[in-house]
């Protein structure tokens, strides 16, 4: 009996997680600059703003909306994307977050180990 319950629970989870991800990704069309995608699965809006505020206190040089926007929109080579191209911004931020973790550019904010890019997204979100 326990094996059947385990298989049923696992099957529901395997089917349910991709469906939940699809709906979260396609129905919540927020601003990609202020949406720390993976972090938003674990944190609510209040906590994301707290993380952003804490990051801005840790890094006072990045305490302005325009400075954060410029840092988030700049590619590694220095080229800056247009703020109107949402899909390109999403791709760039996903790439930057991955690169941050690979290069160990992480920071501990409010007990969370996050990439610098995610911290900047939260900081920008906390200014809105």
pLDDT (tens place) for every residue of the chain, 128 residues total: 577 777 777 777 677 666 666 555 554 556 777 777 778 788 888 998 999 999 999 999 988 999 988 888 888 777 777 777 778 888 888 899 999 999 999 999 988 899 999 999 999 998 88
Does any domain span residue 25?
no
45's tokens: 């809006």
- Residues 120 and 54 sit within 8 Å (Cβ to Cβ): no
115 — phi, psi (to 5°)? -75, 160
What is the C-alpha separation between 107 and 121, in angstroms, rounded? 13
Whole domain around residue 47: which residue ranges?
31-127
Say if strands 112-115 and 106-109 run parallel, antiparallel, or are unpaired. antiparallel
pTM: 0.72
Count of domains forming the chain: 1
Does any domain span residue 17?
no
Does any domain span residue 13?
no
Does any domain span residue 7?
no
Helix (H/G/I), strand (E/B), else coil: 64:
coil
Does any domain span residue 83?
yes
């Amino acid at each position: 009996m326990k094996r059947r319950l385990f298989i049923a629970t696992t099957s529901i989870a395997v089917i349910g997680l991709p469906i939940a991800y699809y709906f979260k990704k396609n129905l919540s069309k927020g601003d990609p600059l202020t949406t720390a995608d993976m972090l938003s699965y674990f944190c609510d809006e209040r906590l994301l703003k707290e993380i952003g505020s804490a990051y801005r206190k840790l890094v006072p040089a990045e305490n302005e909306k325009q400075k954060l926007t410029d840092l988030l929109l700049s590619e590694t080579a220095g080229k800056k994307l247009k703020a109107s191209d949402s899909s390109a911004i999403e791709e760039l931020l996903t790439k930057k977050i991955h690169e941050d973790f690979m290069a160990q550019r992480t920071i501990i904010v409010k007990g969370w180990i996050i990439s610098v890019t995610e911290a900047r997204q939260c900081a920008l979100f906390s200014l809105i």
